[in-house]
Chains A and B, each alone.
Chain A
Amino acid sequence: MILLENISKIYRPDITALKSVNLSVEPGEFVFLVGQSGAGKSTLLKLLNAEERPTRGRIVIGGWDITNIRRQETATLRRQIGVVFQDFKLLPKKTVFENVAFALEVCGEPNHKINTIVPQVLRIVGLEEKMKRFPVQLSGGEQQRVAIARALVHRPKLLIADEPTGDLDVVTAKSIVDILSKINEFGTTLLVVTHNRDIVNMLKRRVVTLEDGTISSDKKTGKYFI
C-alpha cells in the first residue's frame, strides 16, 4: 500500500527532517508511527498526501508512483486518502455537517448519499447532536472528532492520522481507537502517529519508531518505548 524508498526530506540546508527512510506497509495493515517531537513523523505523513515533496527517494502509494506527482493530480490522490491533520484543518465558515460533507462533495457524491452518510459517521464519533455548530463552537476534542469523521467519511483505502487522540480524554481516545480498529477491519490501511503509550501497548500492532529522521525500530507487534 505504501512504499518509501530511500526517502530524504531536507526543508532547508540546515533542517533535514527525514534521512534515507525505507518503509513498506501492506494493504490492510495498522501501523503506529511513534517518536519524539521533531523526529519527522508529520513530515512523513505530509509526503504521503503530496503536501510536501521528497528531496530524494521514491514514494509509491497503491501502485501509484507519486514521487513527482503533478499538481493537477494531487486532488485525485487526496480523495483516495483520509487524513486527520495534527491541527484538524477544519473549515471555519462551514458547520460540522458541512465540513464532513465537503470530503464527499469534492468526490462529486450526490446530495442524498451525503445526507444519509454524514449523520451516520457523525453518530459514530458522537457528534450527531452538534451537526449544525461551527468549529469555533466546539471543544478541541470535538474538533478533532470532526476531523476524524471527515477523514473516513469517503471510505478511503488509506487513512493517515497525525496524533488523532492528542486532545482527547482517555475514554474518548479509546472510542476513537475502537473506530479506527473497526475501519481497519473493513480493509482500510492505517498509519497513525501517536504519543499515547497505553493505546499502542493495548492494540499490539506494528510499531515504527522514528528517531532524528531515521527509522530506529520496526516491530511487528510492538510496544511503545522511548
Chain B
Amino acid sequence: MLVSLTRVITFAAQNFWRNFWLSLVTISIIALSFLSINIFILANALVDNAIAAVEQKVNVTVNFKVSAQEKDMFSIRDRLTAMPEVSGVDYISKQAALERFRDKHTRENDTGITDSLNELETNPLNASLIVRTHSVDQYPAVLKFLDQGEFTSIIEKNSYDDRTNLIDKISKLKEKIKQGGIIINIFFALIALLIVYNTIKITIYTRKDEIRIMKLVGATNWFIRLPLILESVFYSVIAITISILVLFPMLGVIQPYADRLFDGQAFDVLGFFSQNFLTIFGYQLLASMALNILSSFIAMGRYLKV
C-alpha cells in the first residue's frame, strides 16, 4: 500500500516534469480561468456595494401635521422602530427642523430667507420622522403601516407619496440586476467549466498511447488513473497560487477606479479579497480540484478500455 502510494506520487511528479510544456499550458489556462472568476467575483461585489450605497440614500420622510402632539409622534416612532424591517428612525422636532433650515441657509449665505424667518413669530416647519429599512424592498411594509387610517389626523397626507414611486423603481432595478447577475454567473461558471474540462481532456488525450501501453503491460486501471488524477490536482494547486500572485498586484491597480465609482463610499477591493481569502480561494481550489479529478477520470475512460 505504502509502495503504491509513493509510486503514485513519483509517477505523478515525473509525468508533470517530463511533460513540462504541456503542464505549463494546462496550468496557464486554469490559472486564467481562476483569474477571470476572481475578477468576476469582484465585479459582483462592486455591484452589490453600489446597490447598498443607493439603498442607504433611500429613506421615507413622514411629515406630521402642525397640530400633532409630541406623544403621538413618539408613539409612531416607537412602533416603527419595533418593526423588523426598519433599521432606523430619526425624529426631527419642529425646533430641530428650524435649526437645520437656518444652518443650511446660513452656510449658503442666503440671509434673505433667514431674515424673513426671524420676522415670523411662530415656527412654520413641521416635525418629521426619517425612516430607513434594511433593504429597499422593505419600504412597502412601512408605507402600509403608515397608510392605516388611525394616523390620518396626525400625518400630513401625501407627505411620502412622491418617494414611493422612486423606491419602487430602485427596488425593481435591484431585482433585475440580481436576476441578471445569477444568469451571467451561471453562464460564466459554465464557460469556465467547459474550458477546464477540455484542457484536461487534451492533456489526457496526448497520453492515450501511454495509457494503452501501460494497460498492455499489465497495469490496472487505478494504477494508471491515480498518478494522472494526482497530476491534475497539482495543476489546480499551482494554478490557484499563480492566479493569487497575479490578482493581488492587479487589485492595487483597480482600487483607484473602484474609488471613483462610488464617491465618498469607498470599496476596499484588497480588503475584500484579504478578508474573504479562505472562503474565496478555498472554495475555488476545492471546486477546481473536484472538476479536474472528474474531468481526468472521464477523459481517461475510453483509453483504459484495452
Residues of A bordering B, CB below 8 Å: 49, 51, 71-72, 74-79, 83, 85, 89-94, 102-103, 105-108, 110-111, 150
Contacts and interface: CB of A to CB of B under 8 A. Distances in A.
B15 interface: yes
B217 to A, nearest CB: 6
Interface string B210-223: 10011111111101
- 10 nearest interchain CB pairs? A78-B218, A79-B218, A93-B18, A106-B219, A75-B220, A89-B213, A106-B218, A75-B218, A91-B210, A103-B217
A91 B214 contact: yes
B217 A93 contact: no
Interface residues of B, number: 21
Given A89-B213, A108-B3, A51 B306 contact: yes
A215 B119 CA distance: 128
Nearest to A110: B3
B15 A93 contact: yes
Contacts of B3: 108, 110-111
B14 interface: yes
Contact of A106 (B19, B209, B217): B217
A92 B211 CA distance: 11
Given A91-B210, A110-B3, A74 B215 contact: yes
B217 A102 contact: yes
Contact of B210 (A51, A92, A106, A111): A92
A179 B221 CA distance: 32
Contact of B216 (A83, A93, A107, A108): A83
B75 interface: no
B302 to A, nearest CB: 12
B4 interface: yes
A93 B227 CA distance: 14
B6 to A, nearest CB: 8
B7 interface: yes
Contacts of B220: 72, 75, 106
Which of B213, B217, B219, B223: most chain A CB closer than 10 A? B217
Contacts of B218: 75-79, 103, 106-107
A133 B215 CA distance: 23
Interface string B31-52: 0000000000000000000000
Nearest to A134: B18
A150 B218 CA distance: 12
A66 B3 CA distance: 30
Contacts of A72: 220-221
Interface in B218-235: 218-221, 223
Nearest to A98: B14
Contacts of B14: 93-94
B216 A89 contact: yes
Contacts of B219: 75, 102, 106
B144 interface: no
B71 interface: no
A75 B304 CA distance: 11
A49 B212 CA distance: 13
Nearest to A94: B14
Given A91-B210, A93-B15, A93-B18, A78 B305 contact: no
Contacts of B223: 106
Interface in B166-218: 209-210, 213-218
A102 B215 CA distance: 11
19 contacts: A49-B216, A51-B216, A71-B305, A72-B220, A74-B306, A75-B221, A78-B215, A79-B218, A85-B216, A91-B210, A93-B15, A93-B210, A103-B217, A103-B218, A106-B217, A106-B218, A106-B223, A108-B3, A111-B3
Which of A72, A76, A92: most chain B CB closer than 10 A? A92
A106 B219 CA distance: 5
B7 A105 contact: yes
A102 B210 CA distance: 12
A50 to B, nearest CB: 9
B19 A93 contact: yes
Interface string B1-42: 001100100000011001100000000000000000000000
Contacts of A106: 214, 217-220, 223
Nearest to B1: A108
A75 B217 CA distance: 8
Contacts of A74: 215, 306
